[in-house]
Structure 1
Amino acid sequence: MTNYKSSKDYVEMLIEGILITGIVAPIIEEIVFRGVLLKYIEEKTNIVFAVIVTSILFSVVHLFNGELVGMDRYLLIIAGTLAGIMYTTATYVYNSIWASILLHAFWNLWGLFTISNSKIDYGIFQYVINNNNIFITGGDYGMDASLISISGYILISAILLFKKYKY
């Protein structure tokens, strides 16, 4: 039996996606991880340790989004840690938590356009890719844990650092 969604369902999904995923989650997560924890750990230790610890914690929190096993879990931890480093880099380059909030919001909003190897119940616009390679699809977590996104986290962090130290 096919489950057809009404236009009202899509409007509600769009509003929830934008409000929760694109606005609320980035603000709360960035205040907690880059605003409170990062500064606290940095004051007690040093910046490198603070960046690593808060970025790993950021990835671990995302494990609660679903039951992941095996390589899916490892990909999420790697991707989440690198995403945390990317958001931290934005915070330091622009000397403002708002930089990481905006970057996080844009990244999450991009997630409304999902690419998956099967039809899923979230995401406003979906593209089903005929590939089961978890390094391309991100496994059960989705594209945010794929090597494509991991490359994006690294590239954006490098661009931000280049911007900071170029001048």
Structure 2
Amino acid sequence: MEKRFPVAAGVLFGLGLGGFFDGIVLHQVLQWHHMLSSWYPIRDLESLELNTLWDGIFHSATYVFVVLGLFILWRSAHRRHLYWSNRYLVATMLIGFGAFNVVEGLVNHQLLGLHHVNELAPRAQWIFWDLGFLLWGAAMLVGGWLLLRSARRRTQSA
């Protein structure tokens, strides 16, 4: 039986870590935006409470991604056909993290306008922060995909 790496586990870890980075760094530490801050700007305690609630719901969803990734990895770990690879893990986590940024950036920033990356910057600059977030995500997706291809070629030639 061919040894295989649990790609879904790495992608789910990357999705979760991407969400944690966004929520912890951009929502909490830098306080550039909150989950619904374009719809409900932080102008009073009530809007802060609403945004904090939705930040928590968002964090809960990203937590579920990590738990699912751990579950898949755990289920796969006892099998003899599991292929342990740092390269595969980093590649799939980059794919998940990049996918998180691209989807979150397109859906929440552009389509729904729930929030923008840096709402502390002048409003005319928000699009540049949003585009930078999308480019960063796309770069991680491409980098992860290239690393995954490299890992697969390396595995096949071994």
Which TM-score applies when normalising by structure 1? Answer: 0.35
RCO (CA 8 Å, sep 6+): is it higher in 1 or 2?
2
Larger radius of gyration: 2
More strand by share: 1
